[in-house]
Amino acid sequence: MSFMKKVLKNIVNFTIILVVILPLFTTNIFAYEEQEVDKLLEEYKFGEAYKILKENLYDEDKNIDPIKIRKILELEFIVTDTSSMILHALELVEYGQNSKDYYNQMIGYYYLGSVYYELYDDTKAIENFEKMLSIAQSKNYPLGKGMYYMFTGLIYSSYEDYDLALENFTKAQPYFEEAHLDENWVFPNFKENNKFMIDLIEIILSKSQDKVSRFVELGDAFKDKNWKLKYSSMSRCGYELNKIGAFKEAAYMLEESKKTIALADFGDMYNKFSGYMDYDLAYSYYSMGDFKRASELLLDEAYTTNNTKLEVERGELINQKLREIESKEIKRQSETKTKIISAISALLVFLLITVIIIVRQYKVADRLSQEVYERSIRDNMTGLFNRTEIINLYQKNIDKDISLSVIDIDDFKNINDTYGHSVGDIVIKDISSIIQDIVGDKGYVGRYGGEEFLVILKKSDQYDSKKLLEEIRITIENKKWFFKDSPVTVSIGLLNEAKNTSFNNGFKAADELLYLAKRNGKNIICHI
């Protein structure tokens, strides 16, 4: 009897350890892990922090931690890792829906909209930002309202519609002033970022002669701010200074921003925004005649080679995920029919009718699968190859004799502003058809973004790349439009010899030639 009492006593003691002491120990482990991540973030060791957050994102029951996934998304947003962002944003939205955590569901839509914005799909971006706004309005979250107007402002500013951009940034500011951000943001600077955009656009819209000094003053005001505010503000001021020809001041701003980026350690994180910075900086030095420094920045093989390969790989993953979102119904039908086929074949394997049904249903499933694939590689508006696929096709043909050209519709913003976006869409579609009809099987045509197209031509004795592009230019110039009597024209930059040239280098060369065509009066081809 005394032996049984000892056993029971030991069981009770062990239970107390499990119920009382172990949770305290586990809580301390989690608290230590959180402190370690916060310390790494403070030291700008984003790669290490990101790794720890990803390794501990799920609990034993495979449930996500919304705080960790938000920090992960914020870090992915900094480096524009859209393929990872879309996965984690979808998880956060799903978590919010299942747990009725509307605040985090709203944040999930914010990042989903941001993904589409980075992928130049403004329609899908706005669709997700409107879902975010709907939650913000129903639950009275000022942060969500501010985010909506801020990103609407960013979309308008990307089209250089600065009046509407300023209107939306101005609407956003009171909401950011009112919002109380929790402590789980890595960089809780919505209010400061939005105010910066208001100040920036006011300078752009001003008629004053001191724009250069005002841009420099605005950028310098962020020299002592946190890492993200400093690099993003100074790089944007540098970009605007390049646009107005103040190359020396632009180089100063961009160099300061580049130094700030260098303070951060991204580890194994996918990072492409450093390359964009180098391109803007190279443009400054090139325009000042410092060709050596420009070439050093543009021909950074470590960046160019690795990121081009990653761009294609990430693009394939993005396509896969976008396919799941945009083609849910088609995939559901396909899966349902496949299940029907399996059930029928198991039950009626000896009947001829079963064979007929199987063949017929597999044909339907195959057709649906092909349709899903086609949607994933095509631009929704024009039917041309989308940005990711045209880059992929370039990579597949890089060892062949090919040329690469960039085609841009001249003064397209004026068409949108004067006649409306619906007319602008018609112009894009019609010009896409002209380009595709003339190129035919001689190469590949893709919509790179907005009113810009990429054309990859296979070299042949039967035609000349420049002559073919000249045919495109003239055909577009001669087209009659229902909304105006004057022609719509295009400017073209052509890199004749693109064989064994990485996409980044090839595109940069063709894009520079395009801008040379723009500066020389538009409606021409510049080529090398």
Q: What pLDDT digit, counting tens, does each position of 371-383 carry?
A: 556 667 888 889 8
Query: What pLDDT is recorded for position 437?
Result: 93
pTM of this structure: 0.55
CA gap 408, 458 in Å, rounded: 21
Query: What pLDDT is recorded for position 404?
Result: 95
Contact between residue 197 and residue 86 where contact means Cβ atoms under 8 Å apart:
no
Q: What pLDDT digit, counting tens, does each position of 256-302 carry?
A: 988 888 888 888 765 555 666 777 888 888 888 887 777 777 665 44
Closest C-alpha to 284, from 242, 334, 327: 242
Which tokens is 362 given? 């597999």
Q: What is the DSSP-derived secondary structure letter of residue 119? A: T
CA gap 186, 478 in Å, rounded: 54
Q: What pLDDT digit, counting tens, does each position of 247-259 carry?
A: 999 999 999 988 8
What stretch of H or E contains 201?
helix 190-205
Phi and psi at residue 21, to the nearest 5°: -80, -45
Walk along the chain (528 residues) in steps of 10 and give the mean pLDDT of each run: 51 48 44 73 84 81 84 84 83 91 93 85 88 94 94 88 93 92 80 93 91 93 84 89 91 90 78 67 83 71 44 51 50 48 46 47 48 71 90 91 94 90 91 94 91 91 86 94 91 92 91 92 92
Task: Tell me how far the alpha carbon of residue 450 is from its chain's centroid.
Answer: 14
CA gap 342, 337 in Å, rounded: 9
CA gap 282, 355 in Å, rounded: 64
What end-to-end distance do the CA atoms of the chain give, in Å? 98
Query: Which amino acid would we find at residue 133?
Result: L
Contact between residue 476 and residue 467 where contact means Cβ atoms under 8 Å apart:
no
3-class secondary structure, 401: coil
CA gap 389, 392 in Å, rounded: 5
3-class secondary structure, 491: strand
Contact between residue 472 and residue 412 where contact means Cβ atoms under 8 Å apart:
no
Contact between residue 468 and residue 438 where contact means Cβ atoms under 8 Å apart:
yes
Beta pairing class for 402-409 and 490-495? antiparallel
Query: What pLDDT is recorded for position 473?
Result: 95
Contact between residue 248 and residue 268 where contact means Cβ atoms under 8 Å apart:
no
Contact between residue 263 and residue 42 where contact means Cβ atoms under 8 Å apart:
no
